[in-house]
Amino acid sequence: MKIAVIGFGAAAVGFLKEIDTSKHEITVFEMNADIYSSSISGIRADGKLFVSSEMGGDLEEILYNKTLQKEIVDYYCKLAETEPEIGSRENLEELQKKFFINGFKLVESEFFHIGTDKLKIFLKNAHEEFSKKGIEFKFNSFVKDIEVNEKILIKYIDRKSREEKKEEFDKVYIAVGRSGFKLIDTLTEKYPDIILSNTKVDLGVRFELPDIVVKELNEALYEFKVKFKSSNGQLVRTFCNNPSGYVVTEKYSDFITVNGHAIHDQKSTNTNFAILVTHSFTKPFNDPNGYGSYIAKLSNILAGGDKIILQTYGDFKKGKRTKKLWKVFPTLNNDEYVLGDLNLVFPSKTSTSLIEFIDNLDKIIPGIADEENLLYGVEVKFYGKKLNNDLFENLKFIGDCSGHTRSIVHATAHGILEARKIAEN
Ligand SMILES: Cc1cc2nc3c(=O)[nH]c(=O)nc-3n(C[C@H](O)[C@H](O)[C@H](O)COP(=O)(O)OP(=O)(O)OC[C@H]3O[C@@H](n4cnc5c(N)ncnc54)[C@H](O)[C@@H]3O)c2cc1C
Whether residue 281 is contained in a domain is answered as yes
Average pLDDT, stretch 124-150?
Answer: 97
Query: What are the DSSP E strand ranges found in 170-225?
Result: 171-174, 195-197, 200-210
Top mutation candidate among 18, 41, 72 for ligand 1, by most atoms within 8 Å of CB: 41
Q: What is the crossing angle of helices 211-221 and 92-101, to 10°? A: 120
Rounded CA separation 250/380 (Å): 10
CA 197 to chain centre: 19
- How far is the centre of ligand 1, averaged over its atoms, from the C-alpha of 173 (Å)? 15
Residues 216 and 84 in one domain: no
Task: Check whether 40 has a pLDDT greater than 70.
Answer: no
Whether residue 13 is contained in a domain is answered as yes
Residues 277 and 309 in one domain: yes
Ligand 1 atom closest to Cα of residue 408: 11
Residues 208 and 319 in one domain: yes
Ligand 1 atom closest to Cα of residue 11: 25
- How far is the centre of ligand 1, averaged over its atoms, from the C-alpha of 8 (Å)? 9
Residues 179 and 294 in one domain: no
- How far is the centre of ligand 1, averaged over its atoms, from the C-alpha of 41 (Å)? 3
- How far is the centre of ligand 1, averaged over its atoms, from the C-alpha of 99 (Å)? 31
Residues 243 and 166 in one domain: no
Rounded CA separation 270/276 (Å): 19
Percent of the chain with pLDDT over 70: 99
pLDDT in tens, 278-313: 999 988 888 898 999 999 999 999 999 989 999 999
pLDDT-based confidence at residue 109 (cuts at 50, 70, 90) = confident
- How far is the centre of ligand 1, averaged over its atoms, from the C-alpha of 320 (Å)? 36
pLDDT given at position 334:
95
pLDDT given at position 333:
96
- How far is the centre of ligand 1, averaged over its atoms, from the C-alpha of 259 (Å)? 14
Average pLDDT, stretch 61-66?
Answer: 95
What are the DSSP calls for 81-100, one per residue? Answer: TSPPB----TTHHHHHHHHH
Q: Counting Cβ atoms within 10 Å, is residue 312 exposed (0-12), middle (13-18) or buried (19+)?
A: buried
pLDDT given at position 39:
61
Rounded CA separation 56/34 (Å): 27
Residues 400 and 336 in one domain: no
Ligand 1 atom closest to Cα of residue 398: 26
Are 170 and 7 in contact, with CB atoms under 8 Å apart?
Answer: no
Percent of the chain with pLDDT over 90: 81
* Long-range contacts at 348-351 (CB < 8 A, ≥ 24 apart): 349/232, 349/234, 350/203, 350/204, 350/234, 350/277, 350/279, 351/316
pLDDT given at position 114:
93
Q: Whose CA is nearest to atom 29 of ligand 1?
A: 9
Residues 44 and 151 in one domain: yes
Q: Across 86-95, 256-265, 394-403, which has the greatest mean pLDDT? A: 394-403
Whether residue 282 is contained in a domain is answered as yes
Q: Whose CA is nearest to atom 4 of ligand 1?
A: 42
Rounded CA separation 175/418 (Å): 12
Q: Whose CA is nearest to atom 6 of ligand 1?
A: 42
Whether residue 83 is contained in a domain is answered as yes
Rounded CA separation 14/73 (Å): 12
Q: How many domains are there within the chain? A: 2
Q: Which amino acid is at 402?
A: S
Q: Count CB neighbours of 405 within 10 A.
A: 26
Task: Output the ligand 1 site: residues, CB below 6 A.
Answer: 6-12, 29-32, 39-43, 45-48, 142-143, 175-180, 183, 240, 250, 259, 399-401, 406-409, 411
Ligand 1 atom closest to Cα of residue 29: 43
Task: Check whether 253 has a pLDDT greater than 90.
Answer: no
Residues 251 and 331 in one domain: yes
Whether residue 96 is contained in a domain is answered as no
What are the DSSP calls for 388-423, one per residue? Answer: -TTS-SSEEE-GGGGTSB-SHHHHHHHHHHHHHHHH
Please, what is the average pLDDT of the chain? 94
- How far is the centre of ligand 1, averaged over its atoms, from the C-alpha of 421 (Å)? 23
- How far is the centre of ligand 1, averaged over its atoms, from the C-alpha of 157 (Å)? 20
Q: Which domain holds residue 53?
A: 2-90+110-196+387-424
Please give the backbone phi and psi of residue 390, each rounded to the nearest 5 degrees, phi first.
Answer: -95, -5
Task: Check whether 179 has a pLDDT greater than 90.
Answer: no
- How far is the centre of ligand 1, averaged over its atoms, from the C-alpha of 180 (Å)? 9
Q: Angle CA(29)–CA(31)–CA(36) in degrees, nearest 5?
A: 100
Residues 275 and 348 in one domain: yes
Average pLDDT, stretch 197-201?
Answer: 84
CA 416 to chain centre: 19
Whether residue 305 is contained in a domain is answered as yes
Rounded CA separation 120/164 (Å): 30
Whether cis (ω within 30° of 0) applies to the bond prior to 378 is yes
Ligand 1 atom closest to Cα of residue 40: 53
Interacting residues of 152 by C-beta distance below 8 A, sequence separation 6+: 4, 146, 168, 169, 170, 171, 172, 394, 395
Whether residue 102 is contained in a domain is answered as no
Are 327 and 372 in contact, with CB atoms under 8 Å apart?
Answer: yes
Could you tell me which of 399, 320, 374, 363 has the C-alpha nearest to residue 41?
A: 399
Task: Check whether 223 has a pLDDT greater than 90.
Answer: no
What are 258's strand-pairing partners?
A: 249
Helix (H) or strand (E) holding 65: none
Residues 254 and 284 in one domain: yes
Ligand 1 atom closest to Cα of residue 46: 8
pLDDT given at position 264:
85
Tell me, what DSSP letter sits at residue 262? -
pLDDT-based confidence at residue 90 (cuts at 50, 70, 90) = confident
Residues 180 and 207 in one domain: no
- How far is the centre of ligand 1, averaged over its atoms, from the C-alpha of 348 (Å)? 31
CATH of residue 65: 3.50.50.60
Whether residue 12 is contained in a domain is answered as yes
Task: Check whether 41 has a pLDDT greater than 80.
Answer: no
pLDDT higher at 41 or 272: 272
Top mutation candidate among 110, 116, 176, 247 for ligand 1, by most atoms within 8 Å of CB: 176
Q: Whose CA is nearest to atom 19 of ligand 1?
A: 407
Torsion sign over Cα 383, 142, 150, 133: negative
Q: Angle CA(66)–CA(416)–CA(122) in degrees, nearest 5?
A: 85
Q: Whose CA is nearest to atom 38 of ligand 1?
A: 180
Are 289 and 403 in contact, with CB atoms under 8 Å apart?
Answer: no
Residues 166 and 294 in one domain: no
pLDDT-based confidence at residue 38 (cuts at 50, 70, 90) = low
- How far is the centre of ligand 1, averaged over its atoms, from the C-alpha of 223 (Å)? 20
- How far is the centre of ligand 1, averaged over its atoms, from the C-alpha of 179 (Å)? 7
